[in-house]
């Protein structure tokens, strides 16, 4: 997994991912270390918005528990707010 963040301690762009754990379908917990100063970073990454390749926004991704391409979008109650 690539992380494009700068070190919070020294500002270096040389962070490496040591471990990553999938918390849910849309969230990952990452522990990274700076190759420059050695500081440890605990990072939580989360998908907050998804658009299809034709740039159509798909907010329903945040309400379902499967990848969008594996869901029957014709289900009546799939998008009802509860």
Q: For 68-81, write each residue's pLDDT tens digit.
A: 788 777 776 555 55
The token pair that represents 75 in the structure block: 């289900």
Mean of pLDDT values over 53-76: 79
Taking the C-alpha atoms of residue 58 and residue 55, their distance in angstroms, rounded to an integer, is 9
Residue 29: burial class (beta carbons within 10 Å; 0-12, 13-18, 19+): middle
Residue 23's pLDDT is: 85
Rounded Cα distance, 79 and 82, in Å: 9
**What is the layout of strands, in order, in the sheet containing 27-34?**
15-22, 27-34, 40-46
- pTM attached to this predicted model: 0.60
């Amino acid at each position: 997994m690539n992380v494009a963040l700068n070190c919070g301690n020294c500002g270096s762009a040389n962070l490496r991912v040591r471990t990553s754990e999938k918390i849910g379908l849309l969230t990952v917990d990452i522990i990274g270390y700076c190759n420059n100063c050695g500081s440890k970073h605990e990072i939580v990454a989360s998908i907050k918005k998804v658009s299809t390749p034709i740039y159509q926004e798909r907010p329903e991704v945040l309400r379902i528990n499967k990848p969008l391409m594996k869901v029957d979008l014709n289900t009546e109650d799939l998008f009802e707010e509860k």
